[in-house]
A and B are shown apart, each in its own frame.
Chain A
Amino acid sequence: MKEKTQVSDINRSMYDFRYEEDESSFLENGITPDIIREISAEKGDPEWMTEFRLHSLGIYNKLEMPQWGPSIEGLDMDRIVAYIRPKKRMQNDWNDVPDDIKETFEKLGIPQAERESLAGVGAQYDSELVYHNVRREVAESGVVYTDLESAMHDERYANMIRSHFMKLVPPTDHKFAALHGAVWSGGSFVYVPEGVKLEIPLQSYFRLNAKGAGQFEHTLIIVEDNAYLHFIEGCSAPKYYEASLHAGCVELYVGNNSTLRYSTIENWSKNMYNLNTKRATVGENGKVEWVSGSFGSHVSYLYPMSILNGKGARAEFTGITFAGEGQDLDTGAKIVHNAPDTSSYMNTRSISKSGGASTFRSSVVINENAVGSRSAVSCESLMLDSSSRSDTIPSMVVKTDKADIGHEARIGRISDESVFYLMSRGLDENSAKALIVSGFAENVSKELPLEYAVEMNNLINLEMKGSIG
């Protein structure tokens, strides 16, 4: 039997299957006011949302492309399809989902995960959610988990959505936030009432099947005071030779004394430009925990941001990025300390191989009012060959003397001493290296529920089984 002998690229075959799309369901390429109105009409938006979309488009047209990160020259916005009409409206019964879509999610293991370990599931295929379901006992506790469009038309939540939608990430934030405001479609709305602690996670899975398309889902989560939620997000797409775009948006509102854990395993295909925006605001003694694994995409700009607005609020970011051939992944986190006695901790790992480039980029800002705040940042990078790149660009801005901030970063290759130690215990050199890389990712895998840790480890470890001899 062949054992682990070299560190290989992630095997994407289980994600790369695809079905042909009926192109009559595509709206025209490009982003114009007429297309925005058409999307809005297709979705039956309330008037305020149509106006919001058109306003966002105006901002999008004025803003420049980012000049500081990986190149996105290969992304031709005139060729991106912003919206694909769904074959069928969203279903709450798995049996009613169209066969090819059902088969897609079954291959990805979503229904099995729902049965075994989740409190609720949402599945998005291209532009719209196709399935949403939540366990009866969870719904009875007052937890709302549905698609954003349905919630917007439900009078119980309509005002809540209007007062929260793109308030944390305004369209003026950057060009792709403005684009999102104009063409967003799909995504989830989660509401956890005061005092409700959901012990098992909810999950949304986003699948982009169509060629040359964009996915612009919006996730809005409101966790009231003294509550707990773990939300898991997964995403994948088959590989095409045309560029695809993911410009989703996640807005999290974490109440006083509440905790929200947001876990992501991102495995988009290598033709994907992943320009996603995630942001959380945290109330008094509340906590947001980001757990993030970035494995796919051709180019990524991904920096979940935590704004600690309540006294004693906390943020944790744990992330791993694996950049292989043809990938330029710029990932990290942003934290703003905006209240007294807040604290934050970032712990990240990145691996680069076969010409891949990974960049850890972060910012910690401690504002004048954040007296007594503390922050610690730790990042480690592993280079597996000299055709790859690994950069770390952390920034720290401190505007008060009553704060403490610590930062450490390390970059290098697998140490000879570690390899020697493992070889002296009977492993061959390549197995020893593979084991070390696997252990390097442990900071993230130990933070995930078992099933997802296994999936993440599979993404790395199973494909480390090579074929040198």
Chain B
Amino acid sequence: MKEILLNRMPAPTWNRLDINDITVQIPDIPHSTQQCGNTAITALGSEFCGSIGNVTTISGNENINIALEIGQSRGYTVHADKSADITVIMYITANGSALLRTFADVRENARLRLVQVIVGNNDSIILNDVGADISDSGKFDITQIFLGGKCTVSGVCAELNGYRSDLSCSIGYLLGSGELLDINNTVLHKGKKSLSHTDVKGVLSGDAKKTFRGTIDFRNGSSGAVGSENEDVLLMDENVVNKTVPVILCSEEDVEGAHGASIGRLDDDVIYYMTSRGIPEEAVYRIISGSRLEGLIHSIGDAETEERALEALERRWKNAAL
């Protein structure tokens, strides 16, 4: 086993908040000779990228089941060629520690949809890295749904290099007792009039711990770029720990950047309204928190994956900690 430093924030802050990065123990995986895309575009870090082997290339619609075993690493490079429109759906499970990297190469006028449903268990340590290089008028839509797991470290690093390149990122998570999720998303606006929007919705219960670092980085020359980011976290139990760091870095005058965060419990008025209509309070929490994820699951667009994800969600509701 070795310790690996992951998810370093592009602009660090006070060390005592314990928020700048995360250290995880992973099995010794030999350095790979294969490269999974441009390894400089990574959220988890270059050391992580150097541990990825078994790289598969995808250039059309794919619906992949990825069942990672202990110590396994897997890499996917997805090429969305000029004017292509492809969708890649990944349903990911893991036993023990496992590494996954996906690199998206989105060419001119292409559209790539990447869906990742990541279902962890009491033993899983899943490290999931997504890098994306987006060219002129290219569009990258990524949806990530995290349903538990002992420790999940994930990140998206997207470079909007092209004119009017576009990133849309939707993330949902549901965590219960003994579970940890650490996310590091970075969007680099380099192209003129590039666009990005990140929307994160999550539910924490039991003693779940979650960190979300979201950085919008407007580089010099990205004039006309617009970037936004929003996180909405529902806290359901007194022992949860939520950390949120929404960062904007800006070295270009002609841009618009915005971020927002809303963290808290269910609104008393909502609970009152629903209980006054005969719904038990416990069910109110489940309905409201479930709606955050079910909407995202129904947007996957593949009936089989949606069904599996809803079943996994249902299993999690049955878990006493939730």
Q: Write the residues of chain A forming the contact surface with B, with a CB cutoff of 8 angstroms.
A: 67-68, 361, 363, 365, 368, 371, 381, 383-386, 388-413
B147 located at the interface, meaning its Cβ lies under 8 Å from any Cβ of chain A in the complex: no
Contact of A68 with B13 in the complex, beta carbons under 8 Å: yes
- B220 cross-chain contacts in A, Cβ below 8 A: 386
Nearest-CB distance from A289 to chain B (Å)? 23
Stretch at the interface among B109-117, B135-143, B254-262: B254-262
Contact of B19 with A397 in the complex, beta carbons under 8 Å: yes
Nearest-CB distance from B282 to chain A (Å)? 15
Contact of B19 with A68 in the complex, beta carbons under 8 Å: no
B284 located at the interface, meaning its Cβ lies under 8 Å from any Cβ of chain A in the complex: no
Q: Tell me the bound Cα distance from A412 to B255 in angstroms.
A: 5
Stretch at the interface among B75-83, B191-199, B234-242: B234-242
Contact of A392 with B248 in the complex, beta carbons under 8 Å: yes
Contact of A411 with B258 in the complex, beta carbons under 8 Å: yes
Q: List 20 A-B contacts (CB under 8 A).
A: A386-B220, A386-B251, A388-B253, A389-B251, A391-B11, A393-B11, A393-B245, A393-B247, A395-B14, A395-B243, A395-B244, A397-B243, A401-B237, A401-B240, A404-B264, A405-B262, A406-B262, A407-B260, A408-B258, A411-B218
Contact of B17 with A398 in the complex, beta carbons under 8 Å: no
Q: Which residue of B lies closest to A68 (CB)?
A: B12
Would A394 and B251 be within 8 Å (CB), given that A68-B12, A410-B257 are in contact?
no
Nearest-CB distance from B117 to chain A (Å)? 26
- B247 cross-chain contacts in A, Cβ below 8 A: 391-394
Contact of A390 with B250 in the complex, beta carbons under 8 Å: yes
Contact of B245 with A394 in the complex, beta carbons under 8 Å: yes
Interface range for B: 35 or more
Nearest-CB distance from A404 to chain B (Å)? 4
- B252 cross-chain contacts in A, Cβ below 8 A: 383, 386
- A390 cross-chain contacts in B, Cβ below 8 A: 250
Q: Tell me the bound Cα distance from A394 to B261 in angstroms.
A: 11
- The contact of A401 among B13, B243, B262, B265, by CB within 8 Å, is B265
Q: Tell me the bound Cα distance from A68 to B251 in angstroms.
A: 18
Would A395 and B17 be within 8 Å (CB), given that A383-B250, A386-B254, A411-B255 are in contact?
yes
Q: Tell me the bound Cα distance from A67 to B254 in angstroms.
A: 30
Contact of B19 with A395 in the complex, beta carbons under 8 Å: yes
- B17 cross-chain contacts in A, Cβ below 8 A: 363, 365, 395, 397
- A409 cross-chain contacts in B, Cβ below 8 A: 246, 248, 257-260
Contact of B257 with A406 in the complex, beta carbons under 8 Å: no
B20 located at the interface, meaning its Cβ lies under 8 Å from any Cβ of chain A in the complex: yes
Q: Which residue of B lies closest to A353 (CB)?
A: B253
Contact of A396 with B245 in the complex, beta carbons under 8 Å: yes
- B262 cross-chain contacts in A, Cβ below 8 A: 405-407
Q: Tell me the bound Cα distance from A408 to B263 in angstroms.
A: 12
Q: Write the residues of chain B forming the contact surface with A, with a CB cutoff of 8 angstroms.
A: 11-15, 17, 19-20, 204, 218, 220, 223, 233, 235-265
Q: Tell me the bound Cα distance from A365 to B241 in angstroms.
A: 11
Nearest-CB distance from B193 to chain A (Å)? 14
Contact of B249 with A391 in the complex, beta carbons under 8 Å: yes
Q: Tell me the bound Cα distance from A361 to B237 in angstroms.
A: 29
- The contact of B253 among A393, A396, A410, A413, by CB within 8 Å, is A413
- B255 cross-chain contacts in A, Cβ below 8 A: 383, 411-413
- B265 cross-chain contacts in A, Cβ below 8 A: 401-404
Nearest-CB distance from B208 to chain A (Å)? 11
Contact of B253 with A386 in the complex, beta carbons under 8 Å: yes
Nearest-CB distance from B27 to chain A (Å)? 30
- A408 cross-chain contacts in B, Cβ below 8 A: 258-261
Q: Tell me the bound Cα distance from A402 to B263 in angstroms.
A: 10
- The contact of B13 among A368, A395, A402, by CB within 8 Å, is A395
Q: Tell me the bound Cα distance from A394 to B259 in angstroms.
A: 10
Q: Tell me the bound Cα distance from A331 to B58 in angstroms.
A: 47
Q: Tell me the bound Cα distance from A67 to B238 in angstroms.
A: 34
Contact of A363 with B241 in the complex, beta carbons under 8 Å: no
- The contact of B263 among A388, A391, A396, by CB within 8 Å, is A396
Q: Tell me the bound Cα distance from A391 to B13 in angstroms.
A: 12
Q: Which residue of B lies closest to A389 (CB)?
A: B251
- A363 cross-chain contacts in B, Cβ below 8 A: 13-14, 17
- A386 cross-chain contacts in B, Cβ below 8 A: 220, 223, 251-254
- B233 cross-chain contacts in A, Cβ below 8 A: 398
Known pairs A363-B13, A371-B238, A401-B204 / 8 extra A-B pairs, C-beta < 8 Å: A68-B15, A392-B247, A392-B248, A396-B243, A398-B240, A400-B240, A406-B260, A406-B262
Contact of A361 with B253 in the complex, beta carbons under 8 Å: no
Q: Tell me the bound Cα distance from A381 to B239 in angstroms.
A: 35
Nearest-CB distance from B216 to chain A (Å)? 9
Q: Which residue of B lies closest to A67 (CB)?
A: B12
- A371 cross-chain contacts in B, Cβ below 8 A: 238
Nearest-CB distance from A186 to chain B (Å)? 28
Contact of A405 with B13 in the complex, beta carbons under 8 Å: no
Contact of B250 with A389 in the complex, beta carbons under 8 Å: yes
Nearest-CB distance from B264 to chain A (Å)? 4
Contact of A391 with B248 in the complex, beta carbons under 8 Å: yes
Contact of A394 with B254 in the complex, beta carbons under 8 Å: no
Q: Tell me the bound Cα distance from A323 to B168 in angstroms.
A: 33
Contact of B253 with A398 in the complex, beta carbons under 8 Å: no
- A361 cross-chain contacts in B, Cβ below 8 A: 13
- The contact of A395 among B236, B240, B245, B249, by CB within 8 Å, is B245
Nearest-CB distance from A339 to chain B (Å)? 16
Nearest first, the 8 closest Cβ-Cβ pairs linking A and B are A404-B264, A401-B235, A407-B261, A411-B257, A68-B12, A383-B253, A386-B253, A405-B263
By CB atoms of chain A within 10 A, which of B17, B248, B261 has the most? B248
Nearest-CB distance from B202 to chain A (Å)? 12
Contact of A397 with B241 in the complex, beta carbons under 8 Å: yes
Q: Which residue of B lies closest to A409 (CB)?
A: B259
- B243 cross-chain contacts in A, Cβ below 8 A: 395-398
Q: Which residue of A lies closest to B226 (CB)?
A: A412
- A413 cross-chain contacts in B, Cβ below 8 A: 253-255
- A410 cross-chain contacts in B, Cβ below 8 A: 256-258
Contact of A381 with B250 in the complex, beta carbons under 8 Å: yes
Contact of B256 with A403 in the complex, beta carbons under 8 Å: no
- A394 cross-chain contacts in B, Cβ below 8 A: 245-247
Q: Which residue of A lies closest to B242 (CB)?
A: A398
Q: Tell me the bound Cα distance from A406 to B232 in angstroms.
A: 9
Contact of A393 with B259 in the complex, beta carbons under 8 Å: no
Q: Tell me the bound Cα distance from A404 to B264 in angstroms.
A: 4
Nearest-CB distance from B10 to chain A (Å)? 10
Contact of B256 with A412 in the complex, beta carbons under 8 Å: yes
- The contact of B235 among A68, A398, A407, by CB within 8 Å, is A398
Contact of A401 with B249 in the complex, beta carbons under 8 Å: no
- B251 cross-chain contacts in A, Cβ below 8 A: 386, 388-389
- A384 cross-chain contacts in B, Cβ below 8 A: 253
Nearest-CB distance from A204 to chain B (Å)? 28
- B253 cross-chain contacts in A, Cβ below 8 A: 383-386, 388, 413
